[in-house]
Amino acid sequence: MGNMPKLNPIKVQRPPIDLSQTVFMKCESCQYEFFDIAWRLGKISKFADGNKTGQEINIESKVFICRGCGLRVGQKVETTGH
């Protein structure tokens, strides 16, 4: 039956952005505004040219697919692990 620890008061901060100013990205082809995320998963062999780590590297490539027409609109490549 101890006392509950006192919680620090949460400071309410106004975010430094106004979300109403958002300009939503549209598909270049069909102007649709909704996209699915698809992942491409790959590997770079430890024997590959340009791989100086001596280890196999996993590659994750995030791709956005337009839900309207299926066009791929963006790509971001991330590497994970070694």
Decide: is 67 part of the binding site for Zn ion (CB under 5 A): no
Minimum distance from residue 71 beta carbon to Zn ion (Å): 5
- Sequence-ordered list of residues with C-beta below 8 angstroms from that of 66, at least 6 positions apart, any chain: 27, 29, 30, 32, 34, 35, 72, 73
Is the CB of residue 51 less than 8 Å from the CB of residue 80? Answer: no
Decide: is 69 part of the binding site for Zn ion (CB under 5 A): yes
Minimum distance from residue 19 beta carbon to Zn ion (Å): 24
Which residue, among 49, 25, 41, has the nearest Cα to 81 in the 3D structure? 41
Decide: is 64 part of the binding site for Zn ion (CB under 5 A): no
Decide: is 30 part of the binding site for Zn ion (CB under 5 A): yes
Contact residues for Zn ion, defined by CB under 5 A:
27, 29-30, 32, 66, 68-69, 71
